[in-house]
Structure formats: structure tokens, C-alpha cells
Amino acid sequence: MISISVRASVLVAICVAPALVAVPRAHAATPFDGDWSVVVLTKTGICDPSYRFAGKILNGIVYYLGSVSANISGRVAPSGAVNLTVSVGPNHAVGSGRLTTTSGTGTWRGQGPNGQCSGSWNAQRSGS
């Protein structure tokens, strides 16, 4: 089963990196930089139906601000296209989508020891 933390990490996908990594303070370098709130929804597979989390984009790099240690590689392109790869223990997932300066949507898919899950995500800018 792919855990909530994998989905959360993925869509932090949109907006987030390992909790133990300090997010540096700087002026926004892209129109997407700032704090975001993300809702992850499962459409297929044995995963929790939904999960909400907070994240940050800084200089176009996605940071996860949750409490689960995760390996995340993600960026937001100048066009708003988002791509993210996440791994938490034996689970891994990828997410993609598009952001505007205030919101975003996309999809994710993941694989864990007990099978596959997939779904969608929605993001809203929650602060600066």
C-alpha cells in the first residue's frame, strides 16, 4: 500500500522538500514562489482517499514542510509546469501538473510494496 506520506510528498508535489531541510529565506525569484496548501486525492488503488498538507516554493524549487522524511526532487518551470519525484522508504511516486500564481492542478501516480495508486492534486497559494 502506498502511504499517505507518499501522496503528501508527491504533491507537495507541488509545493514542498524534506522536513529536515531548512528553507532559506529570500525574495521571490519566480511568480510561483511562496507558501502553498495542497490537497491530494486518490482515484485508483489502495491509498487513503485524500490528504492535505502545506509546502513552499522558493526560487522555483519545491520544498515539503511536513514531518515525514522524504527524498524529493521537484521544480516549477517558468511556464508553471510542475514535475516532482518522491521516495519514502520503499514507496516512490511522480507528480506533474501546472500552477498559476494563485492555484494549480495535476496528477500523480505511485508504486509501493502492495501495489499502485494514482490520483489528482489541487493547490492554492496560502501566503507569501
The C-alpha atoms of residue 56 and residue 33 are separated, in whole angstroms, by 7
Task: Specify the number of domains making up the chain.
Answer: 1
Q: Is 44 left (phi over 0), alpha (psi -120 to 50) or beta?
A: beta
C-alpha cell at 39: 490537497
34-44 vs 103-112, strand pairing mode: unpaired
CATH number at residue 103: 2.40.128.120
Mean pLDDT, all residues of the chain: 78
The C-alpha atoms of residue 40 and residue 47 are separated, in whole angstroms, by 11
User: 37-68: per-residue pLDDT in tens?
Assistant: 888 888 999 877 887 777 899 999 998 887 77
Enclosing domain of residue 42 = 4-125
pLDDT in tens, the chain (128 residues): 444 444 444 434 333 333 333 444 545 589 999 999 888 888 999 877 887 777 899 999 998 887 777 777 889 999 999 999 888 888 888 999 999 999 999 999 998 777 899 999 999 998 65
| Count of CA atoms in the C-beta half-sphere (13 A) of 110 | 38
Under DSSP, the state recorded for 87 is: E
Q: In one letter, which amino acid is 44?
A: T
- In this prediction, residue 18 carries a pLDDT of 34
pTM of the model: 0.73
